């Protein structure tokens, strides 16, 4: 299933409020490394997105076991077995928002914005730097949730998106204990 294919799954939220939990850069040889509010978010979310670098199949499988609807891509540090199971990029649709997911793109913010535009995305989720970041461009929001398990000198982080009052999604990057780092909004184009 892996390789360089792009996967697109329409995600229907259902009658209750949409909640999307977003993770990246787990880098674990043994499991998902989720704890506190990060674990709660993964278990309660309608959709969980991971931007790659599980490192091991055990970490990938632990996420899959914990999350009902799980969509992921592989990263540069993933084992061959993980790469064989996951695409390089994918698009997930939720609440009228198109989310393009990749681990990394050449060209920095410009490359990520171009990646999103080419897929009609409102939000680009990426990883690699382990740095929790939100960048608003003219037509797409760029989100790196950081790493909940291996922050490498950055604040540990993950992101949660919930239904917004006026359509779209309201997001927060937070620490695994739930402490907010940054809030943002994503609205359909």
Query: pTM (2 decimals)?
Result: 0.92
CB 56 within 8 A of CB 30: yes
Residue 13 in this model has a pLDDT that exceeds 70: no
Tell me: the pLDDT tens digits for 67-90?
989 999 999 999 999 999 999 999
Residue 2 in this model has a pLDDT that exceeds 70: no
Query: Crossing angle, helix 57-66 and helix 36-44, to 10 degrees?
Result: 60
Residue 15 in this model has a pLDDT that exceeds 80: no
Residue 139 in this model has a pLDDT that exceeds 80: yes
Task: Give the per-residue pLDDT at 166.
Answer: 79
Task: Give the per-residue pLDDT at 151.
Answer: 94
**List of domains in the chain:** 6-186 (3.60.21.10)
Question: How would you class 167 by CB atoms within 10 Å of its CB: exposed for 0-12, middle for 13-18, buried for 19 or more?
Answer: exposed
Q: How far apart are the first and last CA of the chain?
A: 31
Dist CA 37 CA 58 (whole Å): 21
């Amino acid at each position: 299933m892996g390789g360089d294919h792009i996967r697109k799954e329409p995600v229907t939220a259902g009658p209750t409020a949409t909640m999307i939990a977003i993770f990246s850069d787990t880098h674990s040889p043994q499991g998902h490394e989720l704890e506190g509010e990060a674990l709660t978010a993964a278990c309660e979310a309608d959709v969980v997105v991971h931007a790659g670098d599980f490192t091991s199949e055990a970490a990938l499988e632990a996420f899959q076991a914990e999350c009902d609807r799980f969509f992921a891509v592989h990263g540069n540090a993933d084992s061959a077995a993980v790469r064989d199971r996951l695409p390089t990029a994918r698009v997930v649709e939720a609440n009228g928002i198109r989310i393009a997911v990749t681990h990394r793109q050449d060209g920095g913010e410009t490359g990520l914005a171009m990646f999103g535009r080419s897929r009609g995305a409102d939000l680009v989720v990426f990883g690699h730097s382990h740095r929790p970041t939100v960048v608003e461009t003219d037509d797409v929001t760029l989100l790196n949730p950081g790493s909940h398990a291996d922050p490498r000198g950055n604040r540990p982080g993950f992101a949660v998106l919930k239904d917004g009052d006026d359509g779209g999604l309201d997001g927060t990057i937070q620490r695994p204990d739930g402490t907010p780092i940054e809030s943002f909004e994503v609205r359909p184009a």
